[in-house]
Chains A and B, each alone.
Chain A
């Protein structure tokens, strides 16, 4: 990664018409718990064309995916990794994009999107998962960091 630029990464995805919902640390930020995060976590619409659009954005940003010993750097191979349905971490020059798929406790794109709220970043519109969905995902993940985040989200709601 060169200089991190999560805002540019989000804008690139939005401008490429990628269908996605922001979850994880950046969603937590948006809801008012401002703490640092090391990546951009998203859930994608599970459609071949959408995977191709993400792969195009990734390649344009110098992205690659490490799969065991293999380094996937073409749009075709990244789209194929996404289509396999498992979690895919794409390292780009703008920062790390973590495509969350196939994890217990993470709702489908359609469910997340139906409850999401729009936010603006660098003039582009992105969808942020609902606070309730975020809390449910934090609860399901259950790591120390997630439980601390959950406590803060509960404090906001209280």
Chain B
């Protein structure tokens, strides 16, 4: 499992910074919306 995770990390690391940055931002937005929605309940 750990070996697969590291392989995926290395694959991501080979992509352009801009692609990874956009993906990270999209993930953060989703998480912030989710936690915000939970806190509002």
Residues of A within 8 A of B (CB): 1, 3-7, 25-26, 28-38, 95, 117-121, 128, 152, 155-156
Contacts and interface: CB of A to CB of B under 8 A. Distances in A.
A119 B18 contact: yes
A156 B28 contact: no
Contact of A4 (B14, B17, B24, B32): B32
A31 B17 contact: yes
Given A155-B9, A156-B10, A32 B29 contact: no
B20 A34 contact: yes
Contacts of B29: 3-6
Interface of B: 6, 9-10, 12-18, 20-25, 27-33, 36
16 contacts: A1-B32, A4-B29, A4-B32, A28-B24, A29-B20, A29-B24, A29-B27, A30-B24, A32-B10, A32-B14, A32-B20, A34-B27, A36-B31, A119-B17, A121-B25, A156-B10
B21 A128 contact: yes
- Judged by DSSP, the binding face of B is helix
Contact of B24 (A1, A26, A38): A26
A33 B17 contact: no
Contacts of A4: 28-29, 32-33
Contacts of A38: 28, 32
Contacts of A3: 29, 33
Interface-central residue, B9, B17, B20, B25, by most chain A CB under 10 Å? B25
B12 A33 contact: yes
A155 B20 contact: no
Contacts of B25: 6-7, 26, 29, 121
